[in-house]
Copies of this chain bind each other. A is one copy, B any other.
Amino acid sequence: MRKLQCAKDEASLAPWAGRGNPHFHETFCRITAINVKRGLVGTDERRDVMAETGVLTAHDLAKRQREISVAEFFTKNRHLLGFDNPKRALLSAVKEAVDNSLDACEEARILPTVEVAVRQLAEDRFVIKVRDNGPGILKSQVPRIFGKLLYGSKFHRLRMARGQQGIGISAAGMYGQLTTAKPTTVISRCSASKPAYKCQLFIDSRTNEPKVVAEEEIQWDIERGTEVEIELLARYQKGRQSVDEYLYETFLANPHLTLRYQPPEGEPVSYERITEKLPAQPKEIRPHPYGVELGALLEIAERTKARNVKTFLMTEFCRVSERVATELLQKAGLPDTLRPSRLKRPEGEKLIEAIAQTKIMAPPSDCIVPIGEQYLQSTLESLVKADFYTAVTRSPSVYRGNPFLVEAALAYGGELPLDEPARVLRFANRVPLLYQQSACAITRSIATTVWKSYGVQQPGGSLPVGPLLIAVHIASVWVPFTSESKEAIAHYDEIIKEMKLALQECGRRLGRHIRKGRREAEAQRKRSYIEKYIPHIGIALRELLDLSEEQERRVCTRLGELLERSRS
């Protein structure tokens, strides 16, 4: 019996040698031997036989190893991108195009006017068309922006934006091509002095590269903007998860947006911007030291242009002043003059430790821009008639080095249904989230907030029940979604904590409103009770004191006045 032995690092994994289980290796070898005897284990001699019977050796397996293109991957995993059924596919395609339009307009500081049309061609065939008045896209960029997954301008920047991944719109085109074999059509124009460029393209899913099938310069009566058109297998349905709802909520979260929408049936819809003021331009930031891990630190050090580690710290990270850099290097015991390329694992570990021990200012918050309490509250006011509205914008916080900010608003009472779970509106970087509510950190935050203490019913661990509408917005330089379809926010502790704090503040205000309402109702009840008896007292006094009707009336009036005064 051969002893099973670790070739490397023997001492470091002593348990392998069988501590506490002396029969470990014996058994292992015995079973292996049995399997070889039984022909269950492949040996070189038997390879051919086994290949025939479907049994594979390392050689056979090696032949099957292949690279998988990201486009192939997402074709097979289309549900990750929001294309798992025809109804959701329609929404996802519109969403990706509109999000891109809004991002482009805001980056170019243009008040966005976006036009959306969804037209039905056959029972399950639709064509979507989204046009914006944005800055346009250079001819050379069009194919890759619309025909290559993981290509974009937003991924490598720490800055709040709707799009992040460079996947969405290409994925929509890929889904269209897969289901209808039609190309994506793009028209774009960058200025009035240049012609418009029109292009039709497919994605080659084997290589994840665009395949342009037609292109031309055309006359376009629009001075500047981009238009994308995709034909796809889809289903149109109104309701909570519809294109209509998405566009409406998008307007709510973007009061500076003018939106025209031609649904597949019925009259066109038009939303006019409420404000002519663009949201502040979010600033791009560098990573914050608190969010940097050892591996990332060494990678940045390898690529930096800084000549020494002090400049490296000051230029590659935010909130590292000369004073902070000096302090960090002192604590880490590293010389200021060390070359960044000499920063290896031991030095990096010391530096990471020094960062953890040093107080560094939180990252600047102008990289994220809230909707604002005022707009958020007016959003709810325009949506529903209620008795009470409130909104809270928290100050920015940080998860994994990424600044983020949470806003919450709620409406209570009025026309909201009495006995249903609260309705929840979710937004991330001003984009409404309509799917995967149960998987979202927003839902978790609402469900784990104790609503009973604010006077609202709540079955254990669920959403509160009552005439309640809750809206939560998270703005961040990088929103951690649970999937590429960007419909639910991952459960990071820091994020859930901030959400709960915002909800609790709203809840406390709601609690005061409900209690005040209850006190008033109680007082009202007592008052109407007494009021009911004043005439009877009047009659009794008249009979006792032999008063005239006039006197009785005066007594009643005085009693009424007294009651009034005692209450105020």
Contacts from A to B (Cβ < 8 Å): 2-5, 7-8, 12-13, 15-16, 19-21, 24, 27-28, 31-32, 35, 38, 40-44, 50, 54-59, 61-62, 64-70, 72-73, 76-77, 79-80, 84-85, 104, 107-111, 113, 115, 117, 119, 127, 129, 131, 133, 135-138, 140-141, 144-145, 148, 150-153, 155-157, 165-166, 177-182, 185, 187, 190-193, 196, 198, 205, 218-224, 233, 258, 260, 262, 267-268, 270, 272, 276, 278, 281, 283, 293-296, 298-299, 345, 348-349, 436, 438-439, 459, 462, 478, 480-484, 488, 490-493
Residues of chain B within 8 A (CB-CB) of A151 are: 65-68
Beta-carbon contact of A345 and B68 below 8 Å: no
Give A127 to B6 CA distance when docked, in angstroms: 15
Residues of chain B within 8 A (CB-CB) of A56 are: 107-108, 135
Residues of chain B within 8 A (CB-CB) of A436 are: 439, 482
Beta-carbon contact of A187 and B8 below 8 Å: yes
Residues of chain B within 8 A (CB-CB) of A192 are: 43
- A224: contacting residue among B41, B117, B267, CB under 8 A: B41
Decide: A294 near B135, CB < 8 A? Known: A84-B480, A187-B8, A222-B4. no
Beta-carbon contact of A15 and B135 below 8 Å: no
User: Most B CB atoms within 10 A — which of A127, A222, A296?
Assistant: A222
Residues of chain B within 8 A (CB-CB) of A438 are: 438-439
Residues of chain B within 8 A (CB-CB) of A15 are: 117, 119, 262, 268
Residues of chain B within 8 A (CB-CB) of A21 are: 260, 267-268, 270
Give A196 to B8 CA distance when docked, in angstroms: 12
Beta-carbon contact of B294 and A32 below 8 Å: no
Decide: A177 near B13, CB < 8 A? Known: A150-B73, A190-B58, A268-B21. no
User: Most B CB atoms within 10 A — which of A129, A140, A193?
Assistant: A129
Copies in the complex: 2
Residues of chain B within 8 A (CB-CB) of A152 are: 65-66, 68
Residues of chain B within 8 A (CB-CB) of A196 are: 7
Give A354 to B110 CA distance when docked, in angstroms: 50
A15-B268, A32-B133, A72-B155 are known contacts; what are 17 more A-B pairs with Cβ within 8 Å?
A7-B219, A7-B220, A12-B127, A16-B131, A27-B272, A28-B115, A40-B109, A40-B110, A42-B108, A42-B135, A58-B138, A61-B107, A73-B165, A79-B480, A80-B484, A84-B491, A459-B459
Residues of chain B within 8 A (CB-CB) of A260 are: 21, 24, 28
Give A490 to B262 CA distance when docked, in angstroms: 31
In order of increasing CB-CB distance, the 6 nearest A-B pairs are A439-B439, A178-B295, A15-B262, A64-B153, A68-B150, A5-B221
A492's nearest neighbour on chain B, judged by CB, is B84
Beta-carbon contact of B24 and A268 below 8 Å: yes
Kindly provide the distance from the CB of A103 to the nearest chain B CB, expressed in whole angstroms: 10
Residues of chain B within 8 A (CB-CB) of A129 are: 13, 16
Decide: A295 near B135, CB < 8 A? Known: A109-B42, A218-B8. no
